Structure 1
Amino acid sequence: MERGLVDFEPDFRLRDLAAEIHLHAGRRDLAGEMLWANFTDHPSLESFRALRQATAEGFPPWRERALAFLAEAPPATGSWSPGRSTLVEILLADDETEAAWQAAVDGGCSQSLWLRLARARAASHPADAIPILLRAVDRAIELRNRDSYREAARLLVEARSLFARCDRDGDFSDHMTAVRDTHRTKWALRQELDWAELP
């Protein structure tokens, strides 16, 4: 196995196999090294979990190292660019919502993760979640199809409850007036808003 890793271009499947062999032989540290290489080559929640499982009780230093590695990823260049999505996803999976929020604020993440974050954040900070939901509404409307308009209406219903929790019902009504005015020519969107009983 060692020779295979030397003779051929490193491959995550070979490293997985090498890690499994090391684990069977009781060499968790060497298994960790194999899976760390996989993680740094292809950072993901799955490769992080594989490292966690292999290193077991020895995982905390690996975890610290992995989070530091991910925190060095370049920040997002656009509002929905991937940025530090892997870091955010890992922190969310570990129920570290506050740290995940800060990672996204500092380095950005994908739209789907922003929405997950907003919903988690809304439990204690509804005002923080509102702009994210409204940004997702704008993005959905830009897609200009019936499904995306329906999604925009669902998100606006969700946002309405957050505005209400913040005692900002008037702000929500003003926002809906602006949405309807800006998109007054989109009859399908107006229909979805009406069906959702939005102002």
Structure 2
Amino acid sequence: MGGFILVDSALGEGTTFTVMLPVCAVGRAEGPSDPAAIAKTDEASAARPLAMGETPTVLIVDDEDPIRVFAARALRKAGLRVLEAVSGEQALEVIATRSEPIDVLLTDVIMPGMDGYTLAQIVRRDHANLRVIAMSGFQEDAILAGRNNEVEVSFLAKPFTLAELNGKVRALLQPAGRR
């Protein structure tokens, strides 16, 4: 319910199965505690399309294929246009070749080469309205986001559910008065 199974296969090299299941919180103080009810809630919020005139574009930057693919599929299912990059350097190439704006940059914090905060600073020089979500499995990175005053950054902790991902992106896409 709400998970993904990714299969990578190459002739003569073998097959890799990546199973991604939603996180299930046990003993929540509010909301449903039944895992099936939680999964249905996540699926419903993930599938609800955004109410906007144009389809927003999200650029996902993560060097970990399973995470990038999971996020891309979830956001596409939610009705967003999604671009992908495996590094900060590749993200800059994607941005440079596009004539249409990118609305949200969803970037991993720790990547080989350019880190996510450096990428956000560089991109925001030319795209001041770009909204940025930094994601990481390390809570220390959230603290670093607070120290970075040059770029306003939202933080998304890994692992995240479909509902958390979509909720964070939706919140940033709302007009300033409606957040």
TM-score using structure 1 length? 0.24
Higher relative contact order (CA 8 A, sep 6+): 2
Q: Which has the larger radius of gyration?
A: 1
Higher normalized helix content (fraction of residues): 1
Higher normalized strand content (fraction of residues): 2
TM-score using structure 2 length? 0.26
